[in-house]
Structure 1
């Protein structure tokens, strides 16, 4: 251990707080909380650790800590710092999926709304619902039963909702507060399982209407009763006490943590979600970190949170306005066991899919290495050029890691030093720019470079790498036949193409790489051509400056769209009729000239 670290460890206080582990460049690797900072932080540097924790410890070069008054304060600070820095070794709650709620607003004239965030605003919230469809169906049903206000702002006169008995029209008539209070109470009872009382009342009214030979009204009430039963009986009763609770279970295997959450509302299991993520620490600690982040800044806290045995969090108990329980028997324990079982099942399925995918991807990488007589090319970088008669020349690079595209590492290049349609010179420029930069920055080089092209492009890339940059990186070229299909695998300066089974996983991998880099290059070229063609003709028109050109591009999107527009379409972006006529004439002439030139070719 470095002396600096050893000295800092000796100064750690015996107080609660948060610690930040840092890497070689000062980047934050991990954020954690501790009841006693001195004991927790020192534990990383003493004793033995499993492989996952050792991966973190081996990269720690420094640490910081922040003292707090309580463990609950440390929990809040930890959650905020994880969200701010997204450390690579922390469990992070990336799934921001939010479920819909029905809200009765806290206004003089309340309304029903579908929302996805619960706020402390005095309103009443019901849910969450398993889908927006279920929430909308329930709201439509409530709108038919209870005439609350529908308009966001009060109109000057009554609207259709008043005439169909779905609003009391507070815009025109005085509605006393007790009337709203009664409706809000009835809606609350209805959503908490009291819909059967509403059904009985409607059945009496239906029978009364039928007795009075008002069959149309009786039919409407019958349909409404059926709709209520359909909407309210879709969810399965799980507990008789009608308590809102969240139930957690987890499973861990092969560096992955699976967490299952059951949402029980009003005694009904209305939704469940599973999150599977890599983890690097103790499974129980990482599970509790997930749960703590799950409730960070949430307002919709249930009355109970059920956790597996041995996962108590003092900070969570102190922070949440809810009972945090570890049930040891009975129906609550059965719910936790069921959540745990589902977490295990989800993890097993994930691992099986990963194994199958590994066979197709990493297996293909190993096979390709054997075909080319090199090590398995875990990182492949592929290049392709794109231009039309040398105009708007661009190139693109895609990256495959372990046989899968790593889209965050894709790169685009505008050709700067080449005039005219010279693919070989363009390839030289791009290879030179890419790998001279990697050398300057000391970044890792690929295991294999794939050139979308024949012998000429391959030789151009090899010349730059070997003679200019002094690099020895395996390079292969993919030549196509006259049907634009991959036909030959060329490798380094070997005269004969490499034999490869066209039905092998290695060949399929090369095809995917070639198709992806071609797609990426063509897409970039089209974007570039669209922008330059758009700009060039507009720049020639007096009265069109950068701001108006930008507004035209945003509004129309293409020259074809401008040419097809009428004068009225320009008024919305502040362009008068005279200038609009000038733009139309210029653009239409430009497009006609381009079409004529194309036909002559």
Structure 2
């Protein structure tokens, strides 16, 4: 079919609504399509080869590159597809290569405004919504309006003077209940205009506000025992709630603007651009910028804006941006929107740029895993305010059972990965009873005293599993060794994942999804696992030794020898006499045999 490796590209396409674009070997745009699920739709071209017609097979054979733009809803995908096809007229979008215009919904500027669709936009002060690439979707919205609101459909000049003069009479639409008869003053203009405002909200995707108002009207009517009125609005509420579309349609009031957003890290910046003309998105692109110096986002965004405006011949006087921009150009106004449709457009741009940043970085990190390591360590250094990259991290955890068998464990991560050959256990020697603070102090002291004696390299970060008390105990040992200023130390409390720094009474809370916190949690969990495994083994050995020492003639030393040789009490009980003689003398052998024979009697 094609030398194009679609599987590799398909893996990077999300299961989201949007518009996809196919490009040929000469980097010419040859097809634009819309999809409710981008990955499924694009994949269907390649996975259903036998079901494709001849023309589509030719199209697929020419594909050498796929780009796409994600949007909020399927309706937005229709709108964007329409805009891009009209702008680029790709070769294989033959059915849309005519000169026809696409429909809009108009709220006519006139007394008692009519609501209808049109293909001709006229600058007469009317409000237009669209354009709609799908006539079916446009008619669905108009049907909702017709079913929910009683509006006039005639083109009579319903001025106050004409109505007062009694020039008009109600028609059949009034008789069958589709109109409330404003032509004979049966409906007040104030009430009619209130309905128009609700319709504008629906067309702007603010149906939630309308539903909220309708519910309040129902409650008020019911409280006043006006059940017939409440029932009318209850029917309206049912229709509105069935209408599922909450698309943000670009209003024709937004004429010519550019929308730009950025996402960056230490190495790369990604900038998304949307070009809006006459209420529709006609251009969209995301570019990547590899940083050379420590450029700010403002500098990079300014460079990208210049590039985009030159490339797409933009003459827009307004540019919507995510933060304040200082650019010496009196013909351009920068807007940082807080609310409204421009804010929605900026959020759409930001969704696209964040998605592409994530996918691009994933591609780089698959090819070069060291990039991921450097990124994580750099982020950890930033989040924890460290003076060095934490390439070598050590984490301590203590375990004991009712004050008995206390042990301490240390795990080591190098380059954000476990270095299991460097893990260590400590049998606590100086602590009596369940004293977690003293246990931590001993373990830290022994660990770094030996490291200094052997001239080893200190870690850049030490993590203490515990709160302020354990952290303070660890710092006591580091101060004794004179290295408390040479290495960063933090404590992590389990309950709320609080991070404590020495001498700081207030904990640090990291985002639950942050990679820094995930690495710290992994260290803590690995230290706990490693420590508890050793602790259980020691506890089990202690229990076994206690049982063997209860046998008359078997002391602590002999019990140790038996366990080292046979590994378990069960194997000792099942051992042949010749094997036992290798460890025991005759008196001990007799005592052991009598003990197990008694248990089996």
**In which range does the TM-score fall when normalised by the shorter chain?**
0.3 to 0.5
Structure with bigger gyration radius: 2
TM-score (norm 1): 0.35
